[in-house]
């Protein structure tokens, strides 16, 4: 039973991914808790805190199969947390050694550490597919570096750009997101072990040794002190996902606009039936982009929930901590789904270069008015050049003639430029500035990723 489309066996094909759902699935979370309990038992066995054989015995049965779902649900309904039921099931499966499970730990120690392990696995999935997106966008940037198209500001023609540059601009923030993930990992990959109030008083002088041993056992770092009420790391993780979704949504927005019938320059990969309409056979809706936008908005709406959960009281929170499970798994699932949609678009986008050229020429050369003005400025001065070109633009618009023809009728222009010179100034491919250098710099940065 599911009420969230991202977890639905049907609608979940549009939101999220099975790989990320497997990381954050409820039973996977319980297994992570069992992994933490088993690691704790092994460390405490080595330190002589519990009998030497107890750690091995507990580890041997620390499998989610040892848990009874109905019993666990009843326990959660009564207690409010799953750890009591998890420990009960594990202790029963471990027999006599079960008396030593959960030694000196508190519920939040187990749940937080299990969550950190999930975050680590989730970030690894996202990083890998982020690299795939970077590679695909890099290939498109190189392929279309010379494909001139209309650059648009305020949804209107501005100056010529290339589609390769557009792809490089899409790519650039993805490099920063890889860096953010790499910088985030050390700030969130901390084991949680502090006992009832964050002092580990139950373990006497051995508390720190247990923290360090547990961290090493689980491949995590040992914090300077327990972080039960310090939630900046997990909140930052969702914040980074929100930023990534924002960048993915920028790509999706551009694709949607470029795919409009009146523009028709770029569309999503064609798959028979995808994006179809129940009544209009001709439709090929940009369905992947639409779900990137929907997922992105949902993830960004979860960011303030996670940040709000940072406002925790005293040594253990009365509510904010419990809000995190509502946001964190969904943020990871939706982000990964949006990312995979973006990878598919980047790899298979359909680019209509002929349509780009027709749209570029639609204004009869007005898109390069700035180029003409800058070309005339050394001869006439900037203000007179601007005036002459503006007059020619007005004539071109009023009469529906090419800008080159209107310029040839301007005495100040024709006295200094012949037809060939005017043609050069009105060629969009001649006014691309540092476009190639920008593409090269972005691609070089992408090649430097570890």
Q: Catalytic positions, please?
A: 277, 316
Q: Answer yes or no: are the C-beta atoms of 350 and 271 closer than 8 Å.
A: no
Structure tokens at 215: 């961290």
CA–CA separation, 128 vs 23, rounded Å? 15
| Among 84, 75, 83, residue whose Cα is nearest residue 115 | 83
What residues pair up with 149 in beta bridges, in sequence order? 161
Q: Give the number of other CB atoms < 10 A from CB of residue 6.
A: 20
CA 83-89-94 angle, 5° bins: 120
The structure tokens listed for 294 are 């929907």
* H or E element, residue 415: none
Residues written for the chain: 450
Residues 6 or more apart from 371 whose CB is under 8 A from it?
159, 425, 426, 430, 431
100/49 Cα distance (integer angstroms): 9
Instruction: Show Cβ contacts of residue 109 under 8 Å, excluding neighbours closer than 6 positions.
Output: 36, 192, 193, 194, 195, 226
- Return the HEC string of 359-381: HHHHHCCHHHHHHHHHHHHHHHC
Whether the CB-CB separation of 256 and 286 falls below 8 Å is answered with yes
Residues sharing a CB contact under 8 Å with residue 331, sequence separation 6 or more, in sequence order: 238, 241, 242, 299, 302, 303, 306
Cα(357)–Cα(130) distance, integer angstroms: 31
Pull the structure tokens for residue 312.
């925790």
Name which of 271, 269, 267 is nearest 257 in CA terms.
267
What is the C-alpha to C-alpha distance for residues 391 and 283, in angstroms, rounded to an integer? Answer: 43
Q: CB–CB of 54/100 below 8 Å?
A: yes
């Amino acid at each position: 039973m599911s009420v969230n489309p991202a977890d639905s066996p049907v609608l979940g094909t549009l939101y999220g991914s099975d790989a990320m759902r497997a990381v954050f699935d409820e039973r996977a979370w319980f297994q992570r808790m069992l992994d933490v309990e088993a690691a704790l038992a092994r460390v405490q066995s080595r330190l002589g805190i519990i009998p030497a054989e107890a750690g091995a015995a507990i580890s041997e049965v620390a499998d989610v199969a040892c848990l009874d779902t109905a019993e666990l649900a009843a326990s959660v309904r009564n207690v409010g947390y799953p750890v009591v039921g998890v420990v009960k099931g594990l202790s029963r499966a471990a027999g006599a050694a079960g008396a030593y499970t959960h030694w000196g730990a508190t519920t939040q120690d187990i749940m937080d550490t299990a969550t950190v392990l999930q975050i680590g696995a989730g970030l690894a999935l996202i990083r890998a597919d982020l690299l795939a997106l970077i590679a695909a966008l890099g290939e498109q940037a190189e392929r279309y570096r010379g494909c001139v198209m209309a650059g648009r500001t305020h949804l209107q023609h501005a100056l010529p750009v290339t589609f390769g540059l557009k792809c490089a601009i899409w790519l650039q923030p993805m490099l920063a997101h890889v860096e953010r993930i790499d910088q985030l990992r050390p700030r969130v990959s901390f084991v949680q072990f502090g006992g009832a109030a964050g002092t580990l008083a139950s373990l006497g002088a051995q508390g720190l040794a247990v923290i360090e041993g547990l961290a090493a056992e689980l491949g995590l770092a040992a914090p300077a002190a327990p972080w039960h009420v310090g939630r900046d790391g997990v909140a930052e993780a969702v914040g980074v996902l929100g930023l990534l979704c924002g960048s993915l949504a920028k790509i999706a927005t551009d694709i949607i606009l470029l795919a409009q019938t009146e523009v028709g320059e770029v569309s999503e990969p064609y798959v028979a039936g995808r994006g179809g309409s129940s009544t209009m056979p001709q439709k090929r809706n940009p369905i992947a982009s639409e779900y990137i936008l929907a997922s992105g908005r949902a993830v960004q709406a979860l960011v303030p929930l996670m940040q709000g959960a940072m406002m925790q009281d005293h040594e253990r929170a009365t509510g904010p901590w419990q809000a995190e499970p509502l946001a964190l798994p969904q943020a990871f699932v939706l982000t990964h789904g949006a990312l995979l949609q973006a990878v598919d678009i980047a790899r298979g986008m359909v680019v209509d270069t002929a349509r780009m050229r027709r749209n570029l020429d639609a204004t009869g050369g007005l898109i390069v008015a700035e180029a003409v003005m800058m070309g005339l400025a050394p001869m006439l001065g900037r203000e007179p050049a601007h005036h002459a070109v503006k007059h020619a633009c007005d004539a071109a618009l009023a009469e529906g003639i090419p800008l080159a023809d209107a310029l040839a009728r301007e005495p100040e222009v024709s006295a200094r430029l012949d037809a060939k010179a005017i043609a050069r100034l009105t060629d969009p491919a001649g006014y691309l500035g540092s476009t190639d250098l920008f593409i090269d710099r972005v691609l070089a940065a992408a090649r430097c990723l570890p």
